[in-house]
């Protein structure tokens, strides 16, 4: 049975559901970045969201809709880090036991935070094991409810509230750059933009090493790839979600890519010009905008900054690397 696609009404209902729990994150500007790129850039700073990423929106929206029976049995999720933390924190707020399947090489700061929120962490090898199969086995064995990181209508609706808030504050934009992994954030953004800013040109941004969504939209089918090697661990996925693919195929946003070196340079810009700590995945939008700025000269452009969860030592290591010529 095909899952019905979420709508903007679902995004609006999610906004009401998460109100008072999720932060309404700020929209920030930088004159230095505007001057350097020749565009007016408005940054939606989800790195300042609860648990440090937009993922809290979708996770809390999904868990808040659990039945009493589901709440008693508990939730299971799989994630490299941000969805893990989001589910663990949402579960703690709502009094739901949480089991999180995380790769063994997930950033230590994300694993520690997930455990700190009360989540029970089960680890696996992301290059040799199937996290979806592990999650399905836990559902079968313990009667848990699975909340996947992006391929779920309540998750998509919750993620769409970030763009909804952005458009409510800024009005229509000429373009909006959105990090793209499994497609939950971009799918939710499509729903918000369709209702609030239909003239806004949407760009989904993947790591260059993992452009599975770009390939999928070009070929008209979901393309599976090996786990990509990239510093953008939040977008280190092997395929786009089935629900998300249906939404994005109908909306046809432009999908572009960013190299790891560009992510590091964007991290440096956030730190120098805006005093913000942004994880590599959260830098996908700015990194892509830097390469497309000439075509958008003088326009009002939004950038969704998806998260800021990075180990301080790793952050310092990446910024200490020599700047590319």
What three-state secondary structure class fits 173?
coil
Is 306 an annotated catalytic residue? yes
* Catalytic residue (one of 30, 79, 90, 306): 306
Is 233 an annotated catalytic residue? no
* C-alpha span between 153 and 311 (Å, rounded): 31
* C-alpha span between 6 and 272 (Å, rounded): 39
* Catalytic residue (one of 206, 233, 265, 279): 206
* Catalytic residue (one of 10, 52, 55, 110): 55
Is 80 an annotated catalytic residue? yes
Burial grade of 63 (CB within 10 A; 0-12, 13-18, 19 or more) = buried
Is 19 an annotated catalytic residue? no
* C-alpha span between 124 and 134 (Å, rounded): 9
115: Cα within 13 Å, side-chain hemisphere: 11
Please answer whether residues 208 and 287 qualify as being in contact, where contact means their C-beta atoms are separated by less than 8 angstroms. no
* Catalytic residue (one of 151, 165, 212, 279): 212
* Catalytic residue (one of 80, 90, 187, 216): 80
- Kind and range of the H or E element at 215? helix 212-219
* Catalytic residue (one of 52, 119, 188, 210): 210
Q: Which residues are the active-site residues?
A: 55, 80, 206, 210, 212, 306
């Amino acid at each position: 049975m095909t899952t019905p696609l979420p709508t903007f009404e679902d995004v609006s209902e999610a906004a009401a559901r998460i109100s008072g729990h999720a932060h309404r994150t700020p929209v920030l500007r930088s004159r230095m970045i505007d001057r350097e790129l020749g565009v007016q850039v408005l940054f939606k700073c989800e790195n300042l969201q609860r648990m440090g990423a937009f993922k809290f929106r979708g996770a809390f929206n999904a868990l808040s809709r659990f039945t009493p029976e589901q709440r008693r049995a508990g939730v299971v999720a799989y994630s490299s880090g941000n969805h893990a933390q989001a589910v663990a924190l949402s579960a703690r707020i709502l009094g739901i036991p949480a089991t999180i399947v995380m790769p063994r090489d997930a950033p230590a700061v994300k694993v520690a935070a997930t455990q700190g929120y009360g989540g029970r962490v089960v680890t696996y090898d992301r290059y040799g094991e199937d996290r979806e199969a592990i999650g399905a086995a836990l559902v079968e064995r313990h009667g848990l409810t699975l909340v996947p990181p992006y391929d779920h209508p309540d998750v998509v609706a919750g993620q769409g509230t970030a763009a909804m808030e952005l458009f409510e504050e800024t009005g229509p934009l000429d373009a909006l750059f959105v990090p793209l992994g499994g497609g939950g954030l971009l799918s939710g953004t499509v729903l918000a933009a369709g209702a609030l800013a239909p003239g806004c040109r949407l760009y989904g941004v993947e790591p260059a090493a993992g452009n599975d969504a770009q390939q999928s939209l070009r070929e008209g089918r979901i393309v599976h790839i090996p786990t990509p090697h990239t510093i953008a661990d939040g977008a280190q996925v092997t395929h786009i979600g089935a629900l998300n693919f249906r939404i994005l195929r109908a909306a046809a946003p432009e999908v572009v890519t960013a190299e790891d070196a560009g992510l590091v340079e964007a991290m440096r810009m956030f730190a120098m010009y805006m005093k913000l700590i942004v994880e590599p995945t959260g830098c996908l939008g700015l990194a892509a905008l830097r390469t497309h700025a000439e075509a958008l000269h003088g326009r009002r452009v939004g950038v969704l900054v998806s998260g800021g969860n990075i180990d301080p030592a790793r952050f310092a290591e990446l910024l200490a690397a020599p700047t590319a010529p």
